[in-house]
A = this chain, B = another copy of it.
């Protein structure tokens, strides 16, 4: 790296590649090239980033500062097997894969994991996205931290083991809460109710949980041990057997957690 700006090659054109690519460009870095198995997506993203869309990873620029591999966990090994990488810094963006999956491919390895739910089509304030970094040597870790700090207010080196556990905690705190919201709001709509009445409740629940210890601000019939309300809810759910099973399971989990 000869200046404070990085010269980056992107592999992938999905949610993570799109959000990171745009953030890098906004911060003044160069995205030189984009390669993706989906050539059409690669061309769209390359155009947005002022980059070249490649037909094959063989054409990747050997003088790039890093190659960011933002593809699904199961695709990484196939994609990297398409060429040899000499001395290029290969960096993956996975929450759950250890850095060492890159061992067969290069001596310079790293991880650049944005700890956030990212969608191609949903804007996100990158400054507030924690970036968890890791690298196989100190110079490359410094490079990844520098790159991270140029787009985010919170960059933290984290080991592969810790990153995997944070990612797992994130499944409960993000994927699972989104699913509870989907179940509750879809139930309301199916019953012909105005589901927007739930919005203030949802916002306040999260605000309160984050400003306190969520264990201590748990409310509702399960933690109160209100058997009558629980029984009534289960009878209201008789025509929704999947919701009824979920209600029973989570209610028992709340009671076990609090007693």
Contacts and interface: CB of A to CB of B under 8 A. Distances in A.
Nearest to A197: B130
A221 B169 contact: no
Contact of A226 (B73, B183, B232): B73
B232 A242 contact: no
Interface residues of A, number: 89
Interface string A199-229: 1111111101111111101111111101011
B156 A178 contact: no
A40 interface: no
A249 B194 CA distance: 28
A201 B116 contact: yes
B200 A115 contact: yes
B185 A181 contact: no
Contacts of A224: 72
A119 B219 contact: yes
Interface string A40-81: 000000000000000000000000000000001110000000
Contacts of A223: 175
A220 B166 contact: no
Interface in A88-115: 96, 115
A154 to B, nearest CB: 8
Contact of A200 (B116, B175, B219, B228): B116
Contacts of A169: 184-185, 187-188, 191, 193, 195, 198
A251 B74 CA distance: 19
Contacts of A15: 219
Given A169-B195, A185-B169, A210-B203, A178 B218 contact: yes
A220 B171 contact: yes
Contacts of A226: 72-74
Contacts of A171: 184, 220-221, 233, 247
B242 A208 contact: no
A210 B200 CA distance: 10
5 contacts: A72-B224, A116-B204, A156-B194, A175-B222, A179-B250
